[in-house]
Amino acid sequence: MRLNQVRTILWKDLRLEARNLPELGGAVVFSVASSSVLGFAVNRLSPEDPLPLIGAGIALIAVFLAVFTSIMTIVREEDLGTLDGVRLTPVRPTTFFAAKLLLSVTLMEGLIGISLAAVAVLSGEAIGDLPYLFSMSAAAGLYLSAVSALSSAMAVYLRARGILLPTMILVLSLPAVQEILAFLSVGGRSGIVALALTGAFFSLLASALAGYVLEV
Amino acid sequence: MLLEFRDVWKGFGSGYVLREVNLSLRGGEVAAVVGPNGSGKTTLLRLAAGLITPSRGRVLVSGVDARRPEAKATVGLLPHTPPLYGDLTVRENLAYYAGLHGLPGISHVRGIIEELGLSDLMDAAVSKLSYGWRKRVDIVRTLIHSPRLVLMDEPTAGLDEPGRRWIRTLLRRISSSGGAVLLTSPTDPSLIVDRVFKIGGDGRVEAEPG
């Protein structure tokens, strides 16, 4: 893997995102709108332990965001007709995938951050341990970014990707969602580390698989 | 040998588009692939560029599998549809592809940029350019890493007469520097080639003098 190639692809993608604000704006509006509903519900219900409820809500929002980011990464290169341009260069599939994974992480963590901020504002004091929630969401974001990027790579040449992409993401996200809920109900910091390690492992696994997925 | 097809078959779904293809291209040669619509001309170029995998047989570029990064570093493909980012400028597109080839910038292709009349358009978004200008940008992208083997899918389509003249000069330049060109161009008889590979209706290829 060549780090300068990863940087070149990532920089180009961030530049494209900055010039495609309506597309990114759609994901931001979704994050804020859905999180506002969640925050409002927490505020009104004021449960004794709000973490499982907020965790479940954020996990659901994050899965939808994973679908958004999957469309904005590898699939979009194919739609723009530029994937062949990359495949004509000596860039290895794993390098290309790593760059897309980093883009996915950047977008996911940013959007999850916006969602949590919206929940925090609207739920007021009822939100509970906010730093713990942020850490848990960031760790889950890493896992879901890898799911999003791998699904994007797997769906890139599929004709029925409109239905297959969200289905793949839903199935691959389930372990993370389950873990989030389990950790939130038990509490404790070790859950965050475990989830982050799972995310890092899945990222490595997805990068290794990408070489086969992107071959034609 | 810059390019070699060894008993290559390529099929999509049921049946083969190309069968038993054996061809080779040496440095200094310019060759054309001809055949009716849908006969497999573009498929043959995509196989040579390592974009697709043969169903059977091997495609070698300078003795290396065409899909390997080492082979791709020596091949340039000018496809019919330019793989350029509409939201990026001409300069950003070229700098991006130069970066993917491990090159620090695009100053080494300034001469080509000037010859193709792109100097004043470097900061224009590619989406604002006509097909002919986008094609010129894509020619620079194809040549950005100084490939020894250049593959061109209908290189003069969409170009005006000065552009077509430039392509003819380019073919001579590449062959005289020891490189090779394989092109498809059913619409432009003015392109002079050394050899012609004719794809028949059965997907087999016959070599003829140019």
Tens-place pLDDT, residues B67-108: 999 999 999 999 999 999 999 999 999 999 999 999 999 999
**pTM to 2 decimal places:** 0.90
pLDDT for residue B186 is more than 70: no
The number of residues making up chain A comes to 216
Q: How confident is the model at residue B131 (pLDDT cuts 50, 70, 90)?
A: very high
From A5, A8, A216, residue closest to B51, measured CB to CB = A216
| Integer Cα distance of B129 and A151 in angstroms | 34
Task: Yes or no: say if B79 and B52 are a contact pair by the CB < 8 Å rule.
Answer: no
Q: Give residues with Cβ within 8 angstroms of B76, minimum separation 6.
A: A88, B142, B143, B144, B145, B147, B149, B150, B151
DSSP string, A25-42: HHHHHHHHHHHHHHHHHH
pLDDT for residue A216 is more than 70: no
- Map residue B150 onto helix, strand or coil: strand
Q: What distance in Å separates residue A212's CA from the closest CA in chain B?
A: 12
| Integer Cα distance of B162 and B183 in angstroms | 19
The packing angle between helices A190-213 and A93-123, to 10°, is 140
Q: How confident is the model at residue B127 (pLDDT cuts 50, 70, 90)?
A: very high
Average pLDDT, chain B: 93
| pLDDT for res A198 | 82
Report the b/e string of B182-201 with b at 16+ CB within 10 A: bbbbeebeebebbbebebee
User: DSSP letter at A141?
Assistant: H
Half-sphere exposure in the Cβ direction for A176 (13 Å, CA): 34
Give contacts of B96 with chain A, Cβ < 8 Å: 8, 12
Domain edges within chain B:
1-74+148-210, 84-146
Nearest CA in chain A to B92: A12
Q: Could you tell me if A18 lies within 8 Å of chain B, comparing CB atoms?
A: no
Residue carrying structure tokens 């797997």: A154
Q: What distance in Å separates residue B88's CA from the closest CA in chain A?
A: 7
Does the interface ipTM go beyond 0.85?
yes
Task: Yes or no: say if B190 and B166 are a contact pair by the CB < 8 Å rule.
Answer: no
Regarding beta strands B56-61 and B3-11, do their DSSP bridges make them parallel or antiparallel, or are they unpaired? antiparallel
- Of B38, B44, B120, B45, give the one whose Cα is nearest residue B79: B45
- Superfamily name with CATH number, domain B1-74+148-210: P-loop containing nucleotide triphosphate hydrolases (3.40.50.300)
Within 149-208 of B, beta carbons closer than 8 Å to A belong to none
Q: How confident is the model at residue B142 (pLDDT cuts 50, 70, 90)?
A: very high
